[in-house]
Amino acid sequence: MTECSTLQNEPSLHRLHQLILKAAGEGIYGLDCQGKATFVNEAAVRILGWKEQEVIGVSLHDLHHHTHLDGTHYPTEECPIYAALKDGEVHQVDDEVFWHSDGYAVPVEYTSTPIWENGKLSGAVVIFKDISERVRMEEEREKAFKEIKQLKEQLEQERDYLRDEINVTANFGEIIGESQALKRTLSQIEAVARTPTSVLILGESGVGKEMIARAIHLNSDRAQQPLVKVNCASIPKELFESEFFGHVRGAFTGAHRHRVGKMQLANNGTLFLDEVGEIPLDLQGKLLRALQESEFEKVGDERTQKVNVRIIAATNRDLEEEVKQGRFREDLYYRLSVFPVEVPPLKNRSDDIHPIAQHFIDCYCRQLGRKSFALTRAQVAKLKAHSWPGNIRELKNVVERAVILSAGTNRLNLETALPSPDHSAPLNTDSVVGQADILTDIELRQLEKQNLLNAMHHTNWKISGADGAAELLGLKPSTLAYRLSQFGIKRP
């Protein structure tokens, strides 16, 4: 009686299972051992558009899994659905597509599970889900992330430039001096600053050409916009275009992300081309075109971008000679040198050495949390006597070295910090005597005696040791004692 009831209920149970499968939200396919469809539920028809009569008895892979998303062939032997029929294991995939009956791809995630019957593989069941909405949201999120990343990169570059500006302004950012040579340069800055004219700053290495460029920018109508510096000598030739114009992701090997170029970063501001004479000849034409047309294309991008940039260039080379030698384009030279500004070397600004050195001393002492030192007349004379081939940069280094060496003392240890005397350079005696004055031997000895007296009074008659007169004069204590005795100088 019980067996009969069970047999009578089998058809209704089978129908119930069918109803459950058809009511499921995921698409379901049943496959035989050859991978042909034996069952399809309503969700599968709704998702992929293939009707039941079009699917039953047909190879499922050939029907809607025959190619990858990019259109390349998808071999049957590589299909995870069929793999379940071979190895009897469950295969899960979350990054493939099934092809709709209308010919478009549907992103899906699916599981292919083998069906065992009496210890033998008799088929498989494939359960899949349409993840189009999820993929769309991920793509939008990825796009938004890229845009945020690109904006972040641009903001970081602008932040770095702003930090640079703050550092330079805080650390020796002012142009210091009252010499006639400097005043001529400052009058040129005042004349050209508020114009859109291109400026070419000329001068020896270390004279402060970047400070002049900054002064022109800060006195221009673009002062609230960025001043973007490009050191042309430090850019590898193969990265020149990317540095100036930027690139898109994948433009070349190693371009893993979008890059904003210096031209775009300086839009509505000022682009400072430092060491412009170092740009390779074959790349000067690309820069010239961008400057003339006020437009450029990123590397790997066909879109043209317009920019409004004021150009200031600087070099320690003789560009006219470079043009004659064929190492610099004549048209680029004339494009850059509309208004040349000559920056005088420090040796021609002897009157400015004292205030510049004192400014550096104050800044470095403030950085190190120390009490500042005042330069003595003897130290100023030594500074003026030096030829300063490295100009202000060299003076800055000497002062920094002197401040460091003066830790724990009440006097600047300038003598140790100064480089060895350059005997090949002429002695600058303008600060001691008039240029047309010639001293007699008696006058010279009187001057030497007075100098010794000044040193002794300054050190409170201390001859040797730290802060002693011998150190101040650059003499050995025994030599100083001998000269004092020669002049009859005694402590009061």
Q: How many other β-carbons are positioned within 10 Å of the β-carbon of residue 439?
A: 12
CA distances from 30 to 18, 26, 36, 39, 294 (A): 12, 13, 8, 5, 65
pLDDT at 156 over 50: yes
**What confidence tens digit (pLDDT) does each residue in 201-260 have?**
999 888 989 999 999 999 999 988 889 898 888 888 888 888 888 777 766 666 666 677
Residue 273's pLDDT is what? 92
CA distance 393 to 395: 5
pLDDT at 478 over 80: no
**What confidence tens digit (pLDDT) does each residue in 118-138 have?**
888 888 888 998 888 888 888
Residue 139's pLDDT is what? 86
Q: Residue 132's beta-bridge partner residues?
A: none
| Percent of the chain clearing pLDDT 70 (strictly above) | 84
320-324: long-range contacts, CB 8 A cutoff, minimum separation 24: 322/277
Architecture field, domain 147-344? 3-Layer(aba) Sandwich (3.40)
Of the pLDDT bands very low, low, confident and very high (cuts 50, 70, 90), residue 311 is very high
Query: Which range has highest mean pLDDT (5-19, 356-370, 446-460)?
Result: 356-370
The three-state secondary structure class of 267 is coil
Of the pLDDT bands very low, low, confident and very high (cuts 50, 70, 90), residue 424 is very low
Residue 431's pLDDT is what? 43
Q: CATH says 346-437 is which class?
A: mainly alpha
**What confidence tens digit (pLDDT) does each residue in 92-109 have?**
888 888 888 888 888 889
Structure-model confidence comparison of residues 231 and 434, the more confident one: 231
Mean pLDDT of the chain: 81
pLDDT at 308 over 80: yes
CATH number of 18-130: 3.30.450.20
State the burial class of residue 25 (Cβ atoms within 10 Å of its Cβ: 0-12, 13-18, 19+).
Answer: exposed
Query: Phi/psi at 106 (nearest 5 deg)?
Result: -115, 115
pLDDT at 78 over 80: yes
**What confidence tens digit (pLDDT) does each residue in 58-73 have?**
888 888 887 888 888 8
CA distance 455 to 467: 10
Domain map (residue ranges) of the chain: 18-130, 147-344, 346-437, 439-492
CA distance 270 to 311: 6
Q: How many other β-carbons are positioned within 10 Å of the β-carbon of residue 247?
A: 22
Of 167, 129, 200, 165, residue with least CA distance to 343: 200
CA distance 389 to 347: 8
Residue 2's pLDDT is what? 33
pLDDT at 354 over 90: yes
